[in-house]
Chain A
Amino acid sequence: MSTPTYHRFETIIVGSGGAGLMAALHSSKEVGTAVVSKLYPMRSHTGAAAGGIAAALSNIEEDSWENHAYDTIKGGDYVVDQTPVEILCREAVECIYDLEHMGLPFDRTPDGRISQRRFGGHTRPVPGNPSKREPVMRSCHAADRTGHMILQTLYQQCIKQGVTFFDEYHMLDLIMVEGECRGIVAIEIATGRLHVFHAKSVLLATGGFGRMFKVSSNAFALTGDGPAIAYRHGIPVEDMEFYQFHPTGIYRLGVLLTEGCRGDGGIMFNGKGERFMETYAPNMKELASRDVCSRSIYQEVRAGRGVSGKDFVYLDIRPSTINKYKSSPIHRDGLEVDDHFIESRLSESLELSRTYLGIDPLKEPMPIQPTAHYAMGGTPTDFDTRVFRNAAGEVVPGLYAAGETACVSVHGANRLGTNSLVDLVVFGRRAGKAMAQYAKSHDFKEIPKDAAVPTKKMIEGALAKPRTEPWVRIRDELQTVMMDDCGVYRTAEGLANARQSVASLKKRYELTGIQDKGTIFNTGLLEYLELGCLIDLAAATVASAESRKESRGAHSREDFPDRDDVKHFNHTFATKDGDFDVKIDTRAVDVIYIEKDGQQVPKYPLEVRKY
């Protein structure tokens, strides 16, 4: 392996999904910026987000950012930092207009404004009866390709602005000196050459890590490289126990059928043909939040009420069904749903069902089951995306994180649908601005000449090791144990088993090598290294789940079925402790107080979370 190639940019952005590109647009306006990504632009998983992006525009129904904030905090089961949530919901509105001005092809209302629709967990007080809440149209959409359109629009703007891209460069290390981040080391996939990127500020925007679970909606590429590499440098991961399982994954494949299906009136049935959500969420039914719907499906299947006694239920979006239950918002206007309406609003889901199930959703219901979807946890940051080095909130100078990679935390224990795209654009933008600001007020600091040596050794080690077993087997076992013992439902026993399994898988992983010894596009090597990231994050996830002895949001402990606001109203920080151990700390939730009758009271008081 030859000497690494040296580059110098004021800011380096790792990842070219929504958060990365948004940051790049803002950072590159002010300072020299480069985007380093293991995928070609437009290949990132932001593109798979279907349903929409939430913002209280009030284009169809009266709404407010405060309503959005209330829903986000309740949806997250209250372990949500409230200052960043208010930022999220306020800035969502201007970010949507920004995106529209950039050319994003939002669907339109008859009067030419951005169209909005309902989505799970998004509500407003009922006009005239404010103690009750009803679903509200808050999700701005571009067919059911909203994420794809966002990715497209941001990339187009990056081309317009001449942003520098290093396509198919895979980050393998952070350059950390004296507790500061001063750059990254990456491998150029096409040549196998190492590159050192010297920078003043670095953004981790590498997406999630759903590939640690067996059934997942996530792309193959979502292996948590950013959080895992930071974790190895002693930087904690926050709230890893909160992992969202989306209720409507395609049977066994895990690919997602958008929540927009339910927003537009789709109904879930068990094997007996019962609309089971009436039991679990009498008010919101199918539009209860995702964790609630996923658990309901599990309960039905466990009780033997899956379809034919099997492990799936149906999602029915046939116009005849929707009209029978009058479950579409258009019924309020005295209209009926027809095939054309469903085709135009949900074309992607129809296509997915036809391709992967051979089922036409206009004629038959679709078999679905919960699928691992979204990490609420990740690398901890403040609301300017600056990374925390510890639970006390001290920052790592020069290091930033945004998007699914990060835990701000605006999603708490459970993210609402359409809030991930808002998170990307709002905090991507804040990241770009904050990084540029930091770069302008700081000088480049020295990096060691041998900055790439640990990476070089890691690669040479992987290539030199004998292949004691296929690494794929280790990955499959990891995914199975995480799905079974650290999935929708968890117990002390299952988690202990997961902890031991992950530790033994890590040992086996370190023993075995790979078959491909080449330098050009050695995807075997990269997948092997990605698996290493997943194993480390799985260990942190299991330890975090063991420490939280309560049920909250997406984290359901069968042995501790209730929420415990006395012991667990806090965030979990997991830090690497030696090779296998994980140290757990907690951090208080950021709560906003307001004055009421001369007293300081919480602005968003704790409530029992019911839908």
Chain B
Amino acid sequence: MSEELTDPTKGYLSTRILTVQLKRYDPEKDREPHWQEFKVEARPIDRVLDVLMKVKWDQDDTIGLRKSCGQGICGSDAMRINGQNNLACKMLVQNLKSDKITVEPILGLPVIKDLIVDMKPFFDHYKSIMPFLVNTDPAPTTERLQTPAQRERFDEGTKCILCACCTTACPPFWGNREYVGPAAIVNAHRFIFDSRDQAASERLEILNDAEGVWRCRTVFNCTSACPRGIKVTQLISEVKRALITGVLDMPQEAEVLA
């Protein structure tokens, strides 16, 4: 291998001092949320999660945040970093524009402590759109058939990890917490456009409600906030279109297996 290759050790060699502005709130001590500043030494390759854990482990063990997989698949550590929703484990120090970062809880859900919010209202919205396959036909002895095109049709929504980055970046949701929000619509889309599912009309009915899909003002915040790169706004538009036209844009009959 003679070509110029990236040296992975480089990101570990240097460090810089970051200033972390953290929004703190402990209901046992504080009447109001307040900002606290920490200085911490970080390597270019560190995740923002590593930076926060370093502050917690070395300086102040009382900081509250959730974490688990550390690799962007479990959805535990959604937070607002420099004003943008993201997973703390998916942002690297080397990609930060300055040596100062602000970290605060995602907006629109009740704060329990520091960066930890109450996820129940978010999951309640998710549960409201029947997020499960409905098919009342007797199951065959092997798999139900589905063409690659039919499978591809709903792929985008299956990437969702329910981290709430999209919903809590959505201005209509901030204004009205009864709105089901982008994440719930993405998950409805995942089933509405699954050729094996039989409850599309019921889900569309739910989303046609006053607190449903029409609350979306096409702000696109959800799409830019999604750490999984899901085209959230597009999926929402497809649901709107299905409601307006009464037709589901699904792969053609000719492609469908007998």
- Give every chain B residue within 8 A of A359 (Cβ-Cβ): 6, 8
Tell me whether A45 and B133 are in contact in the complex, defined as CB-CB below 8 angstroms, given that A111-B257, A472-B57 are known contacts. no
Q: How far is the CB of A189 from chain B (nearest CB, A)?
A: 9
- Of all chain B residues, the one with the shortest Cβ separation from A528 is B61
- Give every chain B residue within 8 A of A355 (Cβ-Cβ): 72, 90, 92
Tell me whether A145 and B132 are in contact in the complex, defined as CB-CB below 8 angstroms, given that A40-B76, A105-B194, A521-B64 are known contacts. no
- Give every chain B residue within 8 A of A383 (Cβ-Cβ): none
Check A310 against B65 for contact (C-beta < 8 Å).
no
Q: Which of B144-152, B166-174, B233-241 contacts A (4 or more CB under 8 A)?
A: B144-152
Q: Which of B31-39, B112-120, B212-220 contacts A (4 or more CB under 8 A)?
A: B112-120
How far, in whole Å, are A43 and B70 apart by their CA atoms in the complex?
A: 11
Check A105 against B74 for contact (C-beta < 8 Å).
no
- Give every chain B residue within 8 A of A153 (Cβ-Cβ): 133
Which A34-55 residues have a C-beta within 8 angstroms of B?
Answer: 39-40, 42-45, 47-48
Q: Is A391 an interface residue (CB 8 A)?
A: no
How far, in whole Å, are A57 and B143 apart by their CA atoms in the complex?
A: 10
Check A521 against B92 for contact (C-beta < 8 Å).
no
Tell me whether A251 and B8 are in contact in the complex, defined as CB-CB below 8 angstroms, given that A219-B70, A518-B28, A518-B62 are known contacts. yes
Q: Is B58 an interface residue (CB 8 A)?
A: yes
- Give every chain A residue within 8 A of B162 (Cβ-Cβ): 42
Question: Which of B8, B113, B141 has the largest number of chain A CB atoms within 10 A?
Answer: B8
Check A521 against B116 for contact (C-beta < 8 Å).
yes
Q: How far is the CB of A110 from chain B (nearest CB, A)?
A: 7
Tell me whether A156 and B141 are in contact in the complex, defined as CB-CB below 8 angstroms, given that A143-B155, A515-B60 are known contacts. no
- Of all chain B residues, the one with the shortest Cβ separation from A45 is B69
Q: Is B121 an interface residue (CB 8 A)?
A: no
Which B1-28 residues have a C-beta within 8 angstroms of A?
Answer: 1, 5-9, 11-12, 26-28
Check A219 against B69 for contact (C-beta < 8 Å).
yes
Check A524 against B158 for contact (C-beta < 8 Å).
no
Check B62 against A524 for contact (C-beta < 8 Å).
yes
Q: Is A470 an interface residue (CB 8 A)?
A: yes
Check A524 against B61 for contact (C-beta < 8 Å).
yes
Check B76 against A39 for contact (C-beta < 8 Å).
yes
Check B73 against A48 for contact (C-beta < 8 Å).
yes
Q: How far is the CB of B223 from chain A (nearest CB, A)?
A: 17
- Give every chain B residue within 8 A of A308 (Cβ-Cβ): 7
Q: Count B interface residues, CB 8 Å.
A: 72
Q: Is A594 an interface residue (CB 8 A)?
A: no
Check A43 against B6 for contact (C-beta < 8 Å).
no
How far, in whole Å, are A252 and B8 apart by their CA atoms in the complex?
A: 9
Check B145 against A252 for contact (C-beta < 8 Å).
no
How far, in whole Å, are A333 and B112 apart by their CA atoms in the complex?
A: 57
Q: How far is the CB of B164 from chain A (nearest CB, A)?
A: 10
Q: How far is the CB of A245 from chain B (nearest CB, A)?
A: 18
- Of all chain B residues, the one with the shortest Cβ separation from A156 is B132
**Contact among A42, A252, A352 with B71 in the assembled complex (CB-CB below 8 Å):** A352
Check B75 against A145 for contact (C-beta < 8 Å).
no
Q: How far is the CB of B214 from chain A (nearest CB, A)?
A: 25
- Give every chain A residue within 8 A of B70 (Cβ-Cβ): 219-220, 255
Q: Is A234 an interface residue (CB 8 A)?
A: no
Q: Is A444 an interface residue (CB 8 A)?
A: no
Q: Is B179 an interface residue (CB 8 A)?
A: no
How far, in whole Å, are A105 and B28 apart by their CA atoms in the complex?
A: 45
Check B1 against A314 for contact (C-beta < 8 Å).
yes
**Contact among A43, A142, A269, A470 with B74 in the assembled complex (CB-CB below 8 Å):** A43
- Give every chain A residue within 8 A of B60 (Cβ-Cβ): 515
Check A47 against B132 for contact (C-beta < 8 Å).
no
Which B152-166 residues have a C-beta within 8 angstroms of A?
Answer: 154-155, 158-159, 161-162
Q: Is A221 an interface residue (CB 8 A)?
A: yes
Check B69 against A48 for contact (C-beta < 8 Å).
yes
How far, in whole Å, are A523 and B67 apart by their CA atoms in the complex?
A: 10
Q: How far is the CB of B3 from chain A (nearest CB, A)?
A: 8
Q: How far is the CB of B152 from chain A (nearest CB, A)?
A: 9
Q: How far is the CB of B171 from chain A (nearest CB, A)?
A: 25
Q: Is B245 an interface residue (CB 8 A)?
A: no
- Give every chain A residue within 8 A of B247 (Cβ-Cβ): none
Tell me whether A101 and B139 are in contact in the complex, defined as CB-CB below 8 angstroms, given that A42-B75, A152-B158, A312-B8 are known contacts. yes
- Give every chain A residue within 8 A of B257 (Cβ-Cβ): 111-112
Q: How far is the CB of A443 from chain B (nearest CB, A)?
A: 34
Which B125-150 residues have a C-beta within 8 angstroms of A?
Answer: 127, 130-133, 135, 139, 141-148, 150
**Contact among A97, A101, A221, A520 with B27 in the assembled complex (CB-CB below 8 Å):** A520
**Given A114-B143, A220-B70, A518-B29; 8 other pairs, CB 8 A cutoff:** A48-B74, A100-B143, A105-B194, A251-B8, A355-B92, A516-B61, A519-B28, A523-B65
A-B CB proximity, top 6 nearest = A103-B133, A112-B145, A515-B61, A524-B61, A156-B132, A160-B132
By a beta-carbon cutoff of 8 Å, the part of chain A in contact with chain B is 39-40, 42-45, 47-48, 57, 96-97, 100-103, 105-114, 142-143, 145, 148-149, 152-153, 156-157, 159-160, 190, 219-221, 251-253, 255, 269, 273, 308, 310, 312, 314, 348, 351-352, 355-359, 364-365, 367, 470, 472, 514-516, 518-521, 523-524
